[in-house]
Amino acid sequence: MPELGAILLTLARNAIAGHFGQEQSSADDCPELHQPGATFVTLTQHGELRGCIGSLEAWRPLALDVQENALAAAFRDPRFEPLTADELPVTRVEVSLLTPAEPILFTSEADALDQLRPNIDGVIFTAGRRRSTFLPQVWGQLPAPVVFMAHLKQKAGLPANYWGQDVRLERYGVKKWKEAAP
Protein backbone atom coordinates (compact mmCIF):
# COMPACT_ATOMS: atom_id res chain seq x y z
CA MET A 1 0.00 0.00 0.00
CA PRO A 2 1.37 3.46 -0.88
CA GLU A 3 2.54 5.67 1.94
CA LEU A 4 0.27 8.36 3.35
CA GLY A 5 2.21 11.15 1.63
CA ALA A 6 1.71 9.69 -1.85
CA ILE A 7 -2.01 9.35 -1.16
CA LEU A 8 -2.29 12.95 0.10
CA LEU A 9 -0.43 14.29 -2.95
CA THR A 10 -2.77 12.34 -5.26
CA LEU A 11 -5.85 13.62 -3.41
CA ALA A 12 -4.62 17.22 -3.64
CA ARG A 13 -3.80 17.05 -7.35
CA ASN A 14 -7.06 15.19 -8.08
CA ALA A 15 -9.09 17.91 -6.36
CA ILE A 16 -7.55 20.57 -8.60
CA ALA A 17 -7.74 18.45 -11.77
CA GLY A 18 -11.37 17.62 -10.98
CA HIS A 19 -12.17 21.33 -10.82
CA PHE A 20 -11.08 21.53 -14.46
CA GLY A 21 -13.00 18.36 -15.39
CA GLN A 22 -9.73 16.55 -16.04
CA GLU A 23 -9.13 12.85 -15.53
CA GLN A 24 -7.98 11.93 -12.04
CA SER A 25 -5.55 9.28 -10.80
CA SER A 26 -6.83 6.59 -8.51
CA ALA A 27 -6.04 7.23 -4.85
CA ASP A 28 -5.73 4.48 -2.28
CA ASP A 29 -7.59 4.60 1.00
CA CYS A 30 -6.14 4.26 4.49
CA PRO A 31 -7.56 4.69 8.01
CA GLU A 32 -5.66 7.97 8.61
CA LEU A 33 -7.68 9.67 5.87
CA HIS A 34 -10.85 9.38 7.92
CA GLN A 35 -9.33 10.83 11.12
CA PRO A 36 -9.20 14.58 11.75
CA GLY A 37 -6.10 16.15 10.23
CA ALA A 38 -4.68 19.62 9.58
CA THR A 39 -2.81 20.25 6.35
CA PHE A 40 -1.36 23.02 4.25
CA VAL A 41 -1.20 22.64 0.49
CA THR A 42 1.54 24.62 -1.23
CA LEU A 43 1.67 25.08 -4.99
CA THR A 44 4.84 26.13 -6.79
CA GLN A 45 5.81 26.77 -10.39
CA HIS A 46 9.46 26.76 -11.40
CA GLY A 47 10.41 27.00 -7.71
CA GLU A 48 8.20 30.06 -7.07
CA LEU A 49 5.19 30.12 -4.76
CA ARG A 50 1.86 29.93 -6.65
CA GLY A 51 -0.52 29.39 -3.73
CA CYS A 52 -0.57 28.15 -0.15
CA ILE A 53 -3.61 27.63 2.07
CA GLY A 54 -4.15 25.38 5.05
CA SER A 55 -5.69 24.52 8.37
CA LEU A 56 -4.02 25.10 11.73
CA GLU A 57 -6.35 22.79 13.65
CA ALA A 58 -7.55 19.29 12.81
CA TRP A 59 -11.33 19.70 12.59
CA ARG A 60 -12.38 17.60 9.59
CA PRO A 61 -11.28 14.27 8.07
CA LEU A 62 -7.75 14.40 6.69
CA ALA A 63 -8.82 13.48 3.14
CA LEU A 64 -11.36 16.32 3.04
CA ASP A 65 -8.92 18.77 4.62
CA VAL A 66 -6.26 18.19 1.97
CA GLN A 67 -8.79 18.33 -0.89
CA GLU A 68 -10.37 21.58 0.33
CA ASN A 69 -6.98 23.18 1.00
CA ALA A 70 -5.74 22.17 -2.47
CA LEU A 71 -8.75 23.88 -4.04
CA ALA A 72 -8.27 26.94 -1.84
CA ALA A 73 -4.54 27.16 -2.68
CA ALA A 74 -5.30 26.89 -6.40
CA PHE A 75 -8.31 29.17 -6.62
CA ARG A 76 -8.71 31.31 -3.48
CA ASP A 77 -5.26 32.41 -2.30
CA PRO A 78 -5.74 36.22 -2.33
CA ARG A 79 -2.10 36.77 -3.33
CA PHE A 80 -2.61 35.13 -6.74
CA GLU A 81 -5.03 34.91 -9.64
CA PRO A 82 -6.90 31.58 -9.76
CA LEU A 83 -4.90 28.75 -11.29
CA THR A 84 -5.73 27.96 -14.93
CA ALA A 85 -5.94 24.54 -16.53
CA ASP A 86 -2.90 25.43 -18.68
CA GLU A 87 -0.82 25.99 -15.54
CA LEU A 88 -1.62 22.67 -13.89
CA PRO A 89 1.01 20.59 -15.75
CA VAL A 90 3.81 22.90 -14.53
CA THR A 91 2.43 23.20 -10.98
CA ARG A 92 4.12 21.18 -8.25
CA VAL A 93 2.03 20.16 -5.23
CA GLU A 94 3.38 19.91 -1.68
CA VAL A 95 1.32 18.71 1.29
CA SER A 96 2.32 19.44 4.89
CA LEU A 97 0.59 17.49 7.68
CA LEU A 98 0.70 19.51 10.90
CA THR A 99 1.17 18.29 14.44
CA PRO A 100 -1.04 19.94 17.09
CA ALA A 101 0.20 23.42 18.01
CA GLU A 102 1.81 23.94 21.42
CA PRO A 103 2.18 27.30 23.19
CA ILE A 104 5.62 28.87 23.52
CA LEU A 105 6.06 30.45 26.95
CA PHE A 106 8.36 33.48 26.98
CA THR A 107 9.22 36.52 29.07
CA SER A 108 10.31 38.84 26.23
CA GLU A 109 10.72 38.92 22.48
CA ALA A 110 14.40 38.02 22.89
CA ASP A 111 13.39 35.00 25.00
CA ALA A 112 10.84 33.96 22.37
CA LEU A 113 13.40 34.29 19.58
CA ASP A 114 15.90 32.18 21.55
CA GLN A 115 13.33 29.38 21.78
CA LEU A 116 12.55 29.18 18.07
CA ARG A 117 14.04 26.19 16.27
CA PRO A 118 14.91 27.09 12.65
CA ASN A 119 13.89 24.49 10.06
CA ILE A 120 11.88 22.59 12.71
CA ASP A 121 9.19 24.94 14.03
CA GLY A 122 6.16 26.18 12.22
CA VAL A 123 5.09 29.27 14.15
CA ILE A 124 1.69 30.83 14.80
CA PHE A 125 1.87 34.50 15.80
CA THR A 126 -1.21 36.04 17.45
CA ALA A 127 -1.64 39.63 18.67
CA GLY A 128 -5.18 40.60 19.52
CA ARG A 129 -7.30 39.68 16.50
CA ARG A 130 -4.32 39.46 14.15
CA ARG A 131 -2.87 36.06 13.36
CA SER A 132 -0.33 34.64 10.95
CA THR A 133 1.72 31.52 10.47
CA PHE A 134 4.77 30.29 8.63
CA LEU A 135 5.41 26.62 7.93
CA PRO A 136 8.85 25.29 8.90
CA GLN A 137 9.78 25.39 5.19
CA VAL A 138 9.81 29.24 5.34
CA TRP A 139 13.01 29.10 7.39
CA GLY A 140 14.71 28.30 4.06
CA GLN A 141 14.02 31.88 2.90
CA LEU A 142 14.18 33.55 6.35
CA PRO A 143 16.84 31.66 8.35
CA ALA A 144 17.45 34.24 11.09
CA PRO A 145 14.84 34.07 13.89
CA VAL A 146 14.64 37.88 14.15
CA VAL A 147 13.93 38.21 10.41
CA PHE A 148 11.52 35.24 10.46
CA MET A 149 9.57 36.89 13.31
CA ALA A 150 9.58 40.32 11.63
CA HIS A 151 8.05 38.84 8.48
CA LEU A 152 5.52 36.89 10.54
CA LYS A 153 4.39 40.13 12.21
CA GLN A 154 4.10 41.86 8.84
CA LYS A 155 2.08 38.95 7.49
CA ALA A 156 -0.32 39.56 10.42
CA GLY A 157 -0.62 43.20 9.31
CA LEU A 158 1.61 44.63 12.04
CA PRO A 159 4.88 46.58 11.90
CA ALA A 160 8.01 44.39 11.82
CA ASN A 161 9.10 45.81 15.19
CA TYR A 162 5.74 45.27 16.94
CA TRP A 163 5.79 43.60 20.35
CA GLY A 164 3.13 43.87 23.02
CA GLN A 165 1.52 42.14 26.00
CA ASP A 166 -1.06 40.60 23.65
CA VAL A 167 1.51 38.55 21.67
CA ARG A 168 1.04 34.80 21.81
CA LEU A 169 3.21 32.27 20.02
CA GLU A 170 2.62 28.62 19.24
CA ARG A 171 4.79 26.07 17.47
CA TYR A 172 3.97 23.00 15.42
CA GLY A 173 5.85 20.48 13.35
CA VAL A 174 5.08 19.05 9.92
CA LYS A 175 5.56 15.96 7.86
CA LYS A 176 5.77 17.08 4.26
CA TRP A 177 5.65 15.47 0.88
CA LYS A 178 6.36 17.11 -2.48
CA GLU A 179 5.72 15.95 -6.00
CA ALA A 180 8.70 15.43 -8.27
CA ALA A 181 9.40 18.39 -10.53
CA PRO A 182 7.18 18.36 -13.63
Domain extent listing, the chain: 4-98, 102-173
Q: What is the rounded radius of gyration, in angstroms, for the C-alpha atoms of the chain? A: 17
In tens, the pLDDT along 24-48 reads: 887 788 899 999 999 999 999 999 9
Residue 1 pLDDT grade (very low, low, confident, very high; cuts 50, 70, 90): very low
How far apart CA 133 and CA 131 sit, in angstroms, is 7
Report the largest interatomic distance among the alpha carbons of the chain, rounded to a whole angstrom: 54
pLDDT of the residue at 182: 65
pLDDT of the residue at 27: 77
pTM of the model: 0.93
Please state the CATH superfamily assignment of the domain spanning residues 4-98 in this structure.
Hypothetical protein ph0010; domain 1 (3.30.700.20)
* CATH number for the domain running over 102-173: 3.30.1490.150
3-state helix, strand, coil in the chain (%, to 5): 35, 25, 40
How far apart CA 123 and CA 135 sit, in angstroms, is 7
Angle of CA points 182, 135, 5, to nearest 5°: 50
